Every structure is written in structure tokens, then in C-alpha cells.
Amino acid sequence: MRICSGFFLLIFLLIGQQAWAVDASIRDLRLWTAPDHTRLVLDLDSLVDYQVFRLHKPERIVVDLRHAVLKADLSKLRLPDPVVQAIRHGARENAILRLVIDVREKVRPRSFLLRPIGGKPHRLVIDLMREQQQPKAALTAADARHAKALVIAVDAGHGGEDPGAIGPHGVKEKTVTLAVAKKLAALIDKAPGMRAVLIRKGDYFVPLKKRVRLARQAHADLMISIHADAVRTRSVMGASVYTLSERGATPDKAAEALAAKENAADEVGGVSIDEEVEDPMVSRILGDMFRRDALNSSQILAEKLLAQLKQVGPLKYRTTKRARFVVLGALEIPSALVELDYISNPSRERKLTDDRHQRRLAQALLEASKQFFRQMGRLDVREGKTAHNDRGLDMIGS
């Protein structure tokens, strides 16, 4: 009986070892190109043990994955891109799958694993950070003052790994928001005394706090974050506008639910630890000095936006809402988050992809911005004059 028990124990251990050593499958690979880095995302059917390191002459990044098998088609990647020239793979000893990323320049690799969320599987994210080029999104303080222009930060929601809401016909929120954002930026740049800064210029992911940081670096006088909402009930339609809620204020449950959904973008898109760091000194100074004034200014902006959007299409809410949106965290910058419409409504989904309708939405956002600056005494459109307010710049540094 002891022999029998020992035999079955041995069989159990052998089976356990084999189950543990089952290869993890790389089901898909995607490449996203941002101004300051390229992101490679590997979809996995389970967690994997991996190592990332650099090799030189020629420059390349090596990714070793233990007990992994490549089932994705590398030929589907859009290569070459500004950073990645090619990606090769091969088997190594000790059950290691090696990916070799041939790069055009010296890059600093950064990698992390993401848990399943929002219908996405386990993912390995590899960011190739460029050392020579810097993001071009932000203007310097000197540029802004020299141009005597009021700077508007235009933030296209979602992007890259984070598609945002997806309509019944497959239209992605990230595509709509970028299209409207680019049209708005073009209109702003044509307007006297105004200049646009696009927070996201292409289909790549930008963490929420980095969006705030880019707006600050641009010394923006105003920020509009563009989104498109979605709910299960397909008949729901209409635009809505949100501002940042004050700490301790009575929460609007529907608005807070939306904020929670939008704030989850970092989990879907993938954020490493160093991207989430925020300067506590800046946060404390701005919290003490600008909170009340900023909330009031943002409310004025939101009301202007709502009034203009009403002329373009239906409204979901006829008054502005407040919630704790991370992307509206720059308290010194009047900011609002605009939900253009419900992409979950089939008819509104089609409308959101219509070029003419997108231009009308962009024009409404521009006109609201002009009206806001006029009321604040900072813009005379007829003469092309601006009154640039640098009140906060000396406080936070440049």
C-alpha cells in the first residue's frame, strides 16, 4: 500500500510540473508610435516570466520569455516605424523564446505586465523611450508670451491600447475624439490671438496625469478634454459637459460613475509606476491658491460649451455636471470634459463619424472658448488682441 501511495504521489508531482511548465501563448502583438516612445504590446493567455535588456552595435532590444510560444503573426505589424526597424524571434535553450527588436536609435526600454481588464487579456508592455527626441506637444513659456496668444490645450480622450467606448458598428471613441480634436486645433490656430496644443496627435496612449502635465508645460490658458459616452441602452443620446468637483462636495452618482469609467483609462491603456508620479509641492500650491477660482472659471467655460453644443445636436443634460476626473486635475487651468454624444446609439455613432458634423462640433467648441475668453476680459477677437494672464506661471515654475 505504501508503494502504491508513493507511486501515485510521484505521478501527481510529474503532472504538476508539466502543468506548470505549459507554454504561455503570445496571441497578438501591437505597435503604437508616440512622439517620445514606441510601445509594443504582447497579448498573453497567462502570466509569463520575462527579461528585457539592450544590446549594442547594432542597437537592439532583446526580450526573453520563459516557457512561451509565439502564435501571433509578426508580419502584421506596421514596420518600420520611427523607432523600430524590425522584430525577429527564435528559440533558445532552457525553453526560452527570444524576441529581438532592431531599433533605429538608442532607446531606453521600460516594461511591465498588465492584468486582464476591460475584455483585454494579460499583457506585456514594452516601451522604447527615445533619448534624443523630446515631445513636441508643449510650448515654452517664452513662446507663448512672445506670440501673445492664448493657448488652448485640446485633449483627445483615450488612444492606443485604450480604444474608449466602441459603438455597435465598431466605431472607436479614440478615433472620433482625435478627429474632432484635430479639427478644433486647426480652427483655433486660424483664430486671431489663439493657439492650440494637441495633447495627443496620433493613435497612441497618453496617461491621464501626463495629459495634465503636458497642458501645464504648454502654459495652457484653457483645456478641453473630448470624449464620447456609451451606455447599454442604445436609444440614449446627447452631449454633456463636466467639470472637476470640489473636495467634500455632494457627489452626483451618474457623474461619478462616468468619472470612474474615464479614470480607468490608465488601467486599460497601461501605465507604469514612474508615469503616475505627481509633484506634491505643485499639487499643494495649486490646491491652496487656485481651487475656488479655478472651479468657478471652469464652470463658466462649461456653461459656454453646453450652450454652443445645444446648437449642434441634442443634449443629454441641460446643466453642467461635476465629478472627480483625473484629466481635469490642473487646477490653475480652466478645464472641462465634453462628451460629444453617445457612441452606443447607432444613429449618433454614424453622426459622430460624419466629417461635416465633426466640423460643426469643433466650431461649437471654438466659439465657446472665444466667449469664455471674452467674458474673462482676455480676448478681443475683432482686434486680435489678447490679455495673457501669467498669474499662475511664476508660482509653478517654467
CA distance 185 to 196: 5
Q: Are 242 and 371 in the same domain?
A: yes
Question: pLDDT per residue over 286-342, tens digit each?
Answer: 555 556 677 789 999 999 999 999 999 999 999 999 999 999 988 889 999 999 999
Residue ranges in the chain whose pLDDT is less than 70? 1-22, 132-147, 247-251, 272-292, 380-398
Residue 394 has what pLDDT? 31
Question: Final residue of a domain: which of 97, 130, 163?
Answer: 130
Q: Are 173 and 119 in the same domain?
A: no
- Give me the number of domains the chain comprises: 2
Laid out side by side, the sheet with 240-244 consists of 194-198, 150-156, 222-229, 335-342, 240-244, 321-323
Q: Are 30 and 171 in the same domain?
A: no
- Flag whether 253 is in a domain: yes
Strand-strand pairing, 24-33 and 37-44: antiparallel
Domain, as residue range, for 351: 141-396
- What CATH number is given to the structural domain containing 112? 2.60.40.3500
Residue 277 has what pLDDT? 47
- What CATH number is given to the structural domain containing 236? 3.40.630.40
Please name which of 122, 135, 184 lies closest in space to residue 156, comparing C-alpha atoms.
184
Question: Final residue of a domain: which of 105, 130, 155?
Answer: 130
Q: Are 102 and 208 in the same domain?
A: no
Count how many residues are written for the chain.
Answer: 398
- Flag whether 163 is in a domain: yes
- Flag whether 17 is in a domain: no
Q: Are 67 and 198 in the same domain?
A: no
CA distance 343 to 177: 11
Residue 16 has what pLDDT? 44
Please name which of 347, 325, 374 lies closest in space to residue 224, comparing C-alpha atoms.
325
- Flag whether 5 is in a domain: no
Q: Are 38 and 179 in the same domain?
A: no
- Flag whether 135 is in a domain: no
Q: Are 172 and 110 in the same domain?
A: no
Q: Are 37 and 176 in the same domain?
A: no
Q: Tell me if the pTM is above 0.85.
A: no
Q: Are 302 and 374 in the same domain?
A: yes
Question: Final residue of a domain: which of 106, 130, 154?
Answer: 130
Q: Are 59 and 156 in the same domain?
A: no
Angle between helices 280-309 and 355-375 (to 10 degrees): 120
- Flag whether 16 is in a domain: no
Residue 273 has what pLDDT? 56
Q: Are 359 and 297 in the same domain?
A: yes
Q: Are 226 and 362 in contact (CB under 8 A)?
A: no
Q: Which residues of 330-351 are buried (b: 16+ CB within 10 A; e: fewer)?
A: bbbbbbbbbbbbbbbbeebbeb
- Flag whether 372 is in a domain: yes
- Flag whether 4 is in a domain: no
Q: Are 278 and 382 in the same domain?
A: yes
